[in-house]
């Protein structure tokens, strides 16, 4: 049976007892906290009116050069008021491309991390009464990972304490010159209103702005496989 990683090895080692590439990719994905579902490459299509053509071209260019993008500590802010139009999918695709470019030379350590911001804020709250395993994993890797995806920086705000925790982690990564991808349904002004100027200024002013305008492409099959 062939593995589900997209790659240019033509799955020639899938029938062998051991595949070095699969072993390394499994490790990198495990550390990244991406779900199994998110490890699979999905085809990302344009709407019939080609509304996001320019951002797709721009992101495809970054995908081809992702190792350089990460090494230079660059950041992206992918946002749209519309749900389900590929913000998370594109950020995951860039992480997949990064793993495909580095797997053969990476030491066994966390290289990229996917943080669901709502889940992270909830974990901070829960951790006060019950030790959160998710929070522990995030804290362990967030400063060392070369690339962090901060997914779904949302209107649903946290307490000052929770937001300050988020701010301090983002701030320390930016100070260290480490690469980040932020996704949100809010634009910069809305993030500023919802989460404060300090967070908004870090996210917006340090990142390339990538606005999506396309339509929702989420289908029921996606939703059920994410549960």
Q: Does 84 bind ligand ATP (CB under 6 A)?
A: yes
Q: Does 141 bind ligand ATP (CB under 6 A)?
A: no
Q: Does 50 bind ligand ATP (CB under 6 A)?
A: no
Nearer to ligand ATP, 81 or 177 (CB): 81
In the complex, minimum distance from the CB of residue 203 to ligand ATP, in angstroms, rounded to a whole number: 16
3-state SS assignment for residue 195 = helix
Footprint of Mg ion on 77-96 (CB under 5 A):
87-88
Nearer to ligand ATP, 19 or 33 (CB): 33
d(CA 219, CA 145): 32
Q: Does 125 bind ligand ATP (CB under 6 A)?
A: no
In the complex, minimum distance from the CB of residue 219 to ligand ATP, in angstroms, rounded to a whole number: 6
The single residue among 89, 116, 132, 141 that binds ligand ATP, judged by CB under 6 A, is 89
Measured from the Cβ of residue 124, the count of other Cβ atoms closer than 10 Å reads 20
d(CA 61, CA 205): 21
Q: Does 213 bind ligand ATP (CB under 6 A)?
A: no
DSSP string, 110-177: --EEEEEHHHHHHHHHHHTTS--HHHHHHHHHHTT-SEEEEE---SS---HHHHHHHHHHHHHHHHTT
Q: Does 158 bind ligand ATP (CB under 6 A)?
A: no
In the complex, minimum distance from the CB of residue 183 to ligand ATP, in angstroms, rounded to a whole number: 6
Q: Does 93 bind ligand ATP (CB under 6 A)?
A: no
Nearer to ligand ATP, 146 or 152 (CB): 152
DSSP string, 46-111: --TT-TTHHHHHHHHHHHHTHHHHHHTT-EEEEE-SSSSSSHHHHHHHHHHHHHHHHGGG--SS--
Residue least distant from ligand ATP (Cβ): 86
Q: Does 218 bind ligand ATP (CB under 6 A)?
A: yes
- Interacting residues toward ligand ATP by CB under 6 A: 42, 44-45, 83-89, 152, 185, 217-218, 222
**Site residues, Mg ion (CB under 5 A):** 87-88
């Amino acid at each position: 049976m062939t593995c589900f990683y997209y790659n240019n090895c033509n799955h020639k080692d899938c029938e062998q007892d051991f595949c070095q590439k699969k072993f390394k990719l499994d490790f990198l994905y495990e550390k990244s906290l991406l779900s199994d579902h998110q490890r699979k490459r999905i085809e990302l299509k344009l709407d019939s009116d080609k509304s996001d053509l320019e951002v797709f071209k721009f992101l495809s260019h970054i995908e081809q050069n992702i190792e350089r993008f990460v090494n230079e500590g660059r950041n992206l802010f992918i946002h749209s008021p519309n749900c389900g139009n590929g913000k998370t999918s594109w950020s995951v695709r860039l992480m997949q491309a990064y793993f495909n470019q580095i797997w053969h030379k990476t030491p066994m350590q966390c290289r990229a991390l996917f943080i669901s911001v709502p889940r992270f804020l909830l974990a901070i709250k829960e951790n006060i009464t019950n030790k959160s395993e998710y929070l522990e994993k995030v804290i362990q890797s967030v400063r060392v990972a070369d690339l962090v995806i901060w997914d779904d920086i949302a209107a649903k705000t946290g307490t000052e304490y929770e937001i300050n925790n988020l701010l301090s982690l983002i701030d320390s990564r930016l100070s260290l010159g480490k690469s980040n991808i932020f996704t949100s349904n809010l634009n910069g002004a809305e993030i500023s209103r919802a989460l404060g100027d300090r967070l908004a200024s870090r996210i917006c002013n340090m990142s390339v702005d990538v606005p999506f305008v396309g339509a929702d492409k989420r289908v029921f099959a996606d939703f059920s496989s994410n549960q």
